[in-house]
């Protein structure tokens, strides 16, 4: 800021532009920078959700071709989130277990390179995050999920399939089937009690609200363990 102030005072608009563009550049951490960051703040650690949360299942769509890109994006089907996010999800899952359900994760922490790839494929920030900003998934702070029956592991009926671009996927879209409405309501309201807010246009996407200070990361899953 000091440089900008001085530059403006001295009437050097060129210098102020240069320092502003540096400030606006997205800060993306590689593995080494991430490791330094967790030494300073252990809450920044990415936790393996499958190991941390008893009873959850994974169905990581981007590790298969069964996703909107029709390409395999991840080398491994893994799910990670920052420590407080993982802890909140563990508590929410305990509540779901009491109802006879458990969480099934479609996607969690997403390396920044995957967000860049999505944008190359789709090229429209209405549907995918802009590489200029990254997404909360890149910060280990958002989870895509649904509920399954605890015993059979069958998915509960929800308004649409995962990653649907249809209007029915909106979190407040009207639902005529009472069972589907009940399932969506339990999912959204329980997660909201643990600090997660549903995305307006995606019933399966939940942002953890307390994510200040968590940077965008670009570390492939295989480098995390």
- Give the footprint of Zn ion on this chain (CB under 5 A): 144, 205
Q: Are 109 and 216 in contact (CB under 8 A)?
A: no
Give me the least distance between CB of 142 and Zn ion, in Å please: 5
**30 annotated among ligand-binding-site residues:** no
State in angstroms the smallest separation of the CB of 196 from Zn ion: 12
Torsion of CA 119, 124, 130, 136, to 10 degrees: -90
Tokens representing residue 206 in the block: 């939940």
Task: CB nearer to Zn ion: give 7 or 147.
Answer: 147
Instruction: Give the residue with the Cβ less far from Zn ion, 104 or 205.
Output: 205
Is 137 marked as a binding-site residue? Answer: yes
Which residue, 139 or 205, has its beta carbon nearer to Zn ion?
A: 205
Q: If phi over 0 gives left and psi between -120 and 50 gives alpha, with beta otherwise, what is residue 213?
A: left
Provide, rounded to whole angstroms, the least separation between the CB of residue 206 and Zn ion: 8
State yes or no: 210 annotated in a binding site: no
Closest by CA to 56, choosing from 90, 9, 31, is 90
Beta bridge partners of 217: 29
Active site residues: 202
Annotated binding site: 137, 144, 205
Annotated binding site for Zn(2+): 137, 144, 205
């Amino acid at each position: 800021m000091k440089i900008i102030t001085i530059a403006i005072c001295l009437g050097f608009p060129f210098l102020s532009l240069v320092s502003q563009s540096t400030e606006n550049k997205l800060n993306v951490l590689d593995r080494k920078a991430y490791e330094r960051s967790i030494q300073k703040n252990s809450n920044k650690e990415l936790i393996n959700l499958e190991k941390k949360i008893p009873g959850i299942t994974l169905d990581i769509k981007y590790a298969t071709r069964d996703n909107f890109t029709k390409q395999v994006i991840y080398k491994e089907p893994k799910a990670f989130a920052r420590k407080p996010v993982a802890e909140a999800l563990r508590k929410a899952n305990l509540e779901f277990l009491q109802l006879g359900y458990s969480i099934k994760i479609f996607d969690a922490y997403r390396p920044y390179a995957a967000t860049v790839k999505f944008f190359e494929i789709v090229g429209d920030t209405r549907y995918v995050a802009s590489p200029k900003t990254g997404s909360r998934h890149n910060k280990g702070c958002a989870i895509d999920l649904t509920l399954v029956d605890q015993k059979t592991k069958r998915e509960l009926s929800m308004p649409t399939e995962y990653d649907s671009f249809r209007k029915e996927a909106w979190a407040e879209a009207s639902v005529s089937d009472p069972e589907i409405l009940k399932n969506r309501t339990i999912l959204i309201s329980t997660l909201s009690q643990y600090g997660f807010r549903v995305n307006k246009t995606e019933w399966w996407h939940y942002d953890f609200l307390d994510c200040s200070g968590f940077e965008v990361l670009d570390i492939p899953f295989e480098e995390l363990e």
